[in-house]
Chain A
């Protein structure tokens, strides 16, 4: 284990995770809005927002799937020390973290069961830019319509078609985070 793995967590976990959760709640309840997550310094290539989201939501009871560049020794050590989430294959994961192309194919992730749609994966997708422009979003949490830069549209349309099943997505870029729950209807502009 590298010594870097021991640093970069929350300094005041109760308060910092509370503020981070409020950001996560706002972005999931209002798709298209972007909030800032701060307070942690995860190792590269993880973004601050992705690291904070993991510290806030994941623990020893939530299997985590790391993929692509995020699946490196530095990140694995950091996750093991600060979060303790078991690292698993995509099929068994409650949370998955990586870039969009590395998370493919998406059908591997859990979409819940018809009687328990909550037993589904949450994908934390690292993106290069995140802005309130691009694909048109409508549905719960959105007053008229919102816009969000998404890596693609077809996959989210397919995911919405599964409702109430489906995975939920957090998009992270630097300290920014946006949410895309399965309930959102995504359209090309």
Chain B
């Protein structure tokens, strides 16, 4: 069987039309009630749970043939998860792909929001492992659903308070809970809390898909998203106190890389497209080499 006829054996974007209609209805209800988790009949996908089956289904329901897709995993375009999902949609939807944030129309992300500000016309699809922000405080779905219904979010503040009592500060550093439009408390997926301020008032449509947990939720553009905190312990979007060692960026989220057995380390931008763009523009960090002379 040739490559072409193999590809044609799939419906556009892999899922059948009935499934896409079901997902599309859930997405529209999610958009209408920002932050509320809409149950949907998640399908088995040709990848294991935990590899972004929710995000893939949301992306499949949104893609049009004219789209340009970007997929990132912890900010990187070239990691296994990102590469395999990108290839999956190249093969089943025939869409163009890119690594440049500015050129993408749909961006599927695992646990980061790109450093480059998003624009109108872009859709950011998050892969979500545990969509329920209250799940580790209350394991019963019947109870957490009731808590959302009654807007009973005191338990979440108790959790943050216990952080302060134990560590002197709110130690939650990722999947930091937010309140959307003053109504629903939402798990922003395990993005670092450094990214939380980008959730609110964003020009792009943000969609969240949790495949194993069968939930879809959404944050429309220009929506108020507030990270939970206390008056005397305000929310801080923290990051490693360093500059990027490759591109010298001061304000980007950094990955720590151990470079030898003696404990030497370097800090590099987690967003590979952002870092590459800066280095191409001539910025050089502490351990970087100018791009013209080859990659560091």
Residues of A within 8 A of B (CB): 13-15, 17-19, 21-22, 24-26, 28-30, 56-59, 61-62, 94, 114-118, 120, 122, 139-143, 163-164, 168, 181-183
Contacts and interface: CB of A to CB of B under 8 A. Distances in A.
A21 B149 contact: no
Interface string B2-31: 000000000111000110111011111111
Given A19-B64, A140-B222, A62 B25 contact: yes
A43 B1 CA distance: 42
Given A14-B11, A14-B12, A140 B149 contact: no
Contacts of A28: 28, 31-32, 220
B148 interface: yes
B205 A25 contact: yes
B100 interface: no
B267 interface: no
Contact-residue bracket for chain B: 35 or more
Interface of B: 11-13, 17-18, 20-22, 24-34, 36, 38-39, 61-65, 120, 123, 145-146, 148-149, 181, 183-184, 205, 218-224
Nearest to B146: A115
Contacts of A29: 31, 205, 218, 220-221
Given A115-B149, A139-B181, A183-B33, 6 more contacts: A17-B20, A22-B62, A26-B205, A117-B33, A118-B30, A143-B221
Contact of A56 (B12, B21, B63, B146): B21
Nearest to B61: A21
Given A19-B64, A140-B223, A142-B222, A182 B33 contact: yes
Interface centre among B22, B39, B221 (most CB of A within 10 A): B221
A75 to B, nearest CB: 20
B119 to A, nearest CB: 12
Given A24-B28, A181-B32, A115 B148 contact: yes
A14 B28 CA distance: 18
Interface centre among A21, A24, A30 (most CB of B within 10 A): A21
11 contacts: A14-B11, A15-B65, A26-B205, A28-B28, A29-B205, A29-B221, A30-B221, A57-B24, A140-B221, A181-B33, A183-B34
B21 A57 contact: yes
Interface majority SS on B: helix, strand, loop or mixed? mixed
A18 B65 contact: yes
A132 to B, nearest CB: 15
Nearest to A143: B222
Contact of A168 (B32, B36, B61): B32
A183 B32 contact: yes
B220 A120 contact: no
A118 B22 contact: no
Contacts of A61: 22
B64 A22 contact: yes
B22 A182 contact: no
A140 B181 contact: yes
A25 B28 contact: yes
Given A14-B13, A25-B62, A168-B29, A183 B24 contact: no
Contacts of B11: 14
A166 to B, nearest CB: 8
Contacts of A122: 28
Contacts of A114: 149
A109 to B, nearest CB: 14
B17 A17 contact: yes
A133 B249 CA distance: 44
A57 B22 CA distance: 8
Nearest to A141: B220
Nearest to B21: A59
A13 B39 CA distance: 25
A18 B67 CA distance: 11
Given A140-B181, A168-B28, A15 B21 contact: no
